[in-house]
Each structure stands twice: as structure tokens, then as C-alpha cells.
Amino acid sequence: MAQATPLMPHATAAWLVDNTGLTFIQISEYCGIHILEVQAIADETAGTKYTGRDPVRAHELSMDEIEKGQNDPAYKLKMTVVQDPIRRTRGPRYTPVSKRQDKPDGIAWILKNYPGISDGAIGKLIGTTRNTITAIRERSHWNSSNIVAKDPVTLGLCSQRELDALVARVAKKAGIVAPEDNRLAGDREALLEELRAERTANELARAAEAATAEAATAAEAATAAEAATAAD
């Protein structure tokens, strides 16, 4: 069975990059995304600017796990086991009151980036009405002047899995095969080599620090022994 991944993997990866000393490989494996996506997030070259999502507060990862990962670059993070939420199979999607004001921005983003998605599919994904979608598309919405297209995943209106699955279904129905993105393929080995070199450098640095500490301890012991001998 595949390892469970965070509800919002890219946003979680952004938080881990900014707030921990975990390696890109550890973050990639934990979040279930490609290591080059983690690199892009860290370099701020990703197509979307992700707002970090704290997996500790979301009860998806413990601080103990993060500490283990930071102390051992080869350690694989384990997700905190949480009860799978009850899924609604019928009826409209429920959206917390605090998120409802973000719906128009999320709808505008989908209309802009995926015009092939039907109004009905958008309504089910975001939890809105066809009239609202039409008003935003035709710029007749009462708050049109303030609507700014924003990724609904980042806004917390849906998960990345749900959006990806919807886009894939629409593309399949239209007979469109998404082109394989090989833009970063040539950089993969170079990036992995860089990460290996970074890990080796860190290990050498730790070994040097340990050797220095050991030498200092030995010197202190020798000094104490000499002092004791002189006193006698």
C-alpha cells in the first residue's frame, strides 16, 4: 500500500523547506512529490507560489519525527496516523464560513487556467452554484472589481489531488494527452549529485567537530594531569 501523504503536499513542502533542516529528498518522499518540485519551491521558481501549511498543527507530522529527520538525513519521515475523515458522497461540498469569501478567487483561477472544465464540475469541486460561476466568467459578479484569481488549493477550497483528478478527467474526456514535462530531466542527476555532496560535506563537518571536541577534551585532561603532578 502506498504511503499516505499530506492533504496539501506542495504547501506542506513549502513549510518544511522554510522551517526545518530536512533534506529535499526527505521532504520529497514525505510529501509524495518529485524532488525537483521541492527544489523549485525552495528556489521560488515554481509556477505557483505556495503558502506554507504546517503539518505539525495539522497533526500530520510530529516534531519528534522532524528532529529524527534533521539528525539523520537517511531517515524517512513517518506521517502521524489520523482517522480518515468521513467523506460526503451526496450533497454540496461544505466550505467553512472563513473560506467562503475566497470562493470567487478560486473560481476565477480555474476559469483562467482550465477553461475546459464545466461549470458543474467547478461547482462540485468548490461548492458553489452555476449562477455564481457564470457571473464571475461574465464579470457581472457584484464584487468583480475585487476578484483576484488564486489557486483554490492554496486557498484551502479543495485538495491538490481533487484538482489534479478533475483536470485529468477533463483532459481524458477531450482526448488530450498531457505532454511529458522534461524541462528539468537533464538537471535531475546534477541535483542528486549536489544533494549527495551536501550530505557528505555535512557528515565531514560533523566528524571534524567531533574530532576537535575530542582533542580539546584530551588536552584538558593532559593539562589537569600535569597540574596534579606538579602539585605532588
Same-domain check for residues 110 and 169: yes
- Identify whether 2 is part of a domain: no
For the chain, the domain total comes to 2
Amino acid present at 131: N
Range of the domain at 48: 9-71
- Identify whether 219 is part of a domain: no
Confidence tier at 97 by pLDDT (50, 70, 90): very low
Separation between Cα atoms, residue 142 and residue 112, nearest integer Å: 19
- Identify whether 113 is part of a domain: yes
Find out whether 53 and 15 touch, Cβ atoms under 8 Å.
Answer: yes
pLDDT tens digit sequence for 143-154: 888 999 998 888
The whole-number pLDDT of residue 212 equals 81
Separation between Cα atoms, residue 42 and residue 166, nearest integer Å: 27
Q: What is the CA radius of gyration of the chain?
A: 25
Report the half-sphere exposure of 211 (CA within 13 A, side-chain side).
Answer: 6
154, 173, 192 - which closes a domain = 173
Same-domain check for residues 163 and 105: yes
Separation between Cα atoms, residue 228 and residue 77, nearest integer Å: 50
Same-domain check for residues 56 and 106: no
Q: What are the φ and ψ backbone dihedral angles of 12, each rounded to 5 degrees? A: -65, -40
The whole-number pLDDT of residue 188 equals 58
Whether residue 85 has pLDDT greater than 70 = no
- Identify whether 115 is part of a domain: yes
- Helices 35-43 and 185-231: angle between axes, nearest 10 degrees: 80
- Assign 98 to helix, strand or coil: helix
Separation between Cα atoms, residue 86 and residue 93, nearest integer Å: 13
